[in-house]
Amino acid sequence: MINKFSKKVVMTVLIMNIVFTAFVLAIYWHVGSEPTTLIVSWFAFTTGELWALASIKNEETRRGGTNDHKQV
């Protein structure tokens, strides 16, 4: 189940990054300056989300492929 969810999250982040880049290019073309702080913040956010997802997946793999939080 986490595999399907993680693939959806990765695809969503990828599409959001492409759309964001298109908007930033349009803003740059119209205004003539780039919103540097916004760009850094956006990619820090999306990178953090993907990093957290990778950490969850890595922990699941390390525990043997299960996402149960039961103590044995």
- Confidence class for position 17, pLDDT limits 50, 70, 90: very high
Question: Apex CA 18: angle with CA 12 and CA 23, to 5°?
Answer: 125
Cβ–Cβ under 8 Å, residues 45 and 16: no
Mean pLDDT of 18-33: 95
Read off the pLDDT of residues 40-56 as tens digits, 9 standing for 90 and up.
999 999 999 999 988 88
Q: Torsion over CA of 51, 54, 58 and 61, rounded to 10 degrees?
A: 170
Does residue 70 or residue 34 have the better pLDDT?
34
pTM: 0.74
Domain range summary for the chain, segments of one domain joined by +: 2-60
Residues in contact with 43: Cβ distance below 8 Å, sequence separation at least 6, in sequence order: 17
Residue 31 pLDDT: 94
